Amino acid sequence: MVDLMVVLIEDDALDAAAIRRALARRGLPYSVRHYVDGDEALRAARRRELIPPAFLVLDLNLPRVPGLRVLEALREEALLPGAPIAVFTTSANPNEHRQARSLGATEVIVKERGAVDRLVDLIEAHAPRVEG
């Protein structure tokens, strides 16, 4: 397996730490780029700092630029073409979930018991493999 860049756009430090711990427990070869607001993440993407292979984890309730606007900009500007995106959110609003999927989210995971493990399962399933 090659290193996977996990782009974490999450303003909650506890959630970000839980995701990092879960990735480490799995022994996945990864690096994390962590952004705490949508504006910061979009600026990095526009500077081409987020390179494939990448898996994006996106919170919807972000400061400065909301997650749905980030998702829309990433897709419209082809900033991470083909990158799987998991929306990781406290929102149980089905309209927001539908909108996220229509904007290209691979999956929407509501932050509840077991959610971090489901998220890491999804990341692991999308990790690029190298033939030996």
Dump pLDDT digits (tens) for 63-81.
989 999 999 998 888 888 8
Count how many Cα atoms sit within 13 Å of the Cα of residue 100 in the half-sphere of its side chain: 27
Q: What does the alpha-carbon distance between residue 24 and residue 111 come to, in Å, rounded to a whole number? A: 19
Give the H/E segment covering residue 55: strand 54-58
pLDDT band at 52 (very low <50, low <70, confident <90, very high): low
pLDDT at 122 over 90: yes
According to CATH, the superfamily of the domain at 4-126 is Response regulator (3.40.50.2300)
Note the residue count of the chain: 132
C-alpha separations of 112 from 17, 22, 52, 81, 90 in Å: 15, 15, 29, 29, 8
For the chain, give every domain's residue range: 4-126
* Predicted TM-score of the model (pTM): 0.89
Q: How many C-beta neighbours within 10 Å does residue 98 have?
A: 12
